[in-house]
Amino acid sequence: MREKVKNKYHVDVKIYSKEHWSLFRKLREKSFNYMQLLSRFDPIIYGSIARGDVHPKSDIDIMFLKPINEFHITNILGDPFQKWIVQATPLSAIKGVLVYYDINISFPLIPLYPREEEFYYFGGSLSFDKINSDKFIRTPGINKQLLYIYPTENGHKELRITTDNASIIAKNLKIKIDTILERIRVLERRDKIGRTGIFLKRLLRPDDSFGTILNQIKSTNPATRRRIKRQKI
């Protein structure tokens, strides 16, 4: 079930239990081990695993912000359980996703727009270098409930982001205010009308290459073809 956005006046302080810290450390250790194997390709982790507000169903997501050949990953980690091509909207970059049994590894098949890179900073992200220096470091970010999560020694503080406080939070996260305002519009609209669809999501066969399937999609899907042709903005 999709998480509902919180009301605009929500403010709270969370104190983590021993079980929460144990889960966080378990998930972070696992993600660190994968990132260490892939460290020369500059991976990041993002979302709750970076912020620390994890729960039992939290995904472990590793992302590369630059296009990378899938074989650089599979030569290290072996064959994945599943392979997907995903395009969230007609204007979004097309991504490849390798699904291992306990982790998802994503990478753009074409260059990301700067605003798409900022999406990962919006949600909170950490590079391998930062985790390597402090394995359990946490970072601020915004979750799908539009809550700004700010880590504290014992847990986190949370504040609902709105158009009124967007400029302050944008400075804290070092991203453009337009990125925050766009995510507010998108998530509030999605919460209101209940749309959850992804523009393109295709499961590949084990022997399919991302490049070959992307070319097939490009030849039959005008929206994807236009996105591939666009320059970075």
pLDDT in tens, 62-86: 999 999 999 999 999 999 999 999 9
**Residue 66 to residue 125: CA distance in whole angstroms:** 15
Report if residue 5 sits inside a domain.
Answer: no
**Residue 115 to residue 92: CA distance in whole angstroms:** 10
Q: How many Cα atoms within 13 Å fall on the side-chain side of residue 111? A: 7
**Residue 132 to residue 20: CA distance in whole angstroms:** 22
The answer to whether 66 touches 108, Cβ cutoff 8 Å, is: yes
Report if residue 138 sits inside a domain.
Answer: yes
Report if residue 232 sits inside a domain.
Answer: no
Report if residue 16 sits inside a domain.
Answer: yes
Token match 């892939």: residue?
38
**Residue 42 to residue 65: CA distance in whole angstroms:** 8
Report if residue 199 sits inside a domain.
Answer: yes
**Percentage of residues of the chain with pLDDT beyond 90:** 78
Which structural domain, as residue segments, surrounds residue 209?
11-219
Q: How confident is the model at residue 112 (pLDDT cuts 50, 70, 90)?
A: very high
Under DSSP, is residue 105 helix (H, G, I), strand (E, B) or coil? strand
Residue 195 has pLDDT above 70, yes or no: no
Report if residue 26 sits inside a domain.
Answer: yes
The answer to whether 51 touches 140, Cβ cutoff 8 Å, is: yes
Within 8 A by CB and 6+ apart from 176, the residues are 115, 118, 170
Higher pLDDT among residues 186 and 78, named by residue: 78
Cα–Cα distance list, 224 to 80, 108, 112 (Å): 25, 13, 14
How many structural domains comprise the chain? 1
What average pLDDT is seen over the chain? 92
Size of the chain, expressed as the number of residues it contains: 233
Report if residue 68 sits inside a domain.
Answer: yes
Token match 């609902």: residue?
160
Cα–Cα distance list, 9 to 72, 82, 165, 215 (Å): 46, 41, 11, 47
Report if residue 116 sits inside a domain.
Answer: yes
Whole-prediction pTM: 0.90
Residue 220 has pLDDT above 70, yes or no: yes
Q: What is the pLDDT at residue 182? A: 92
Under DSSP, is residue 195 helix (H, G, I), strand (E, B) or coil? coil
Q: What is the pLDDT at residue 198? A: 83
Q: What is the pLDDT at residue 87? A: 92
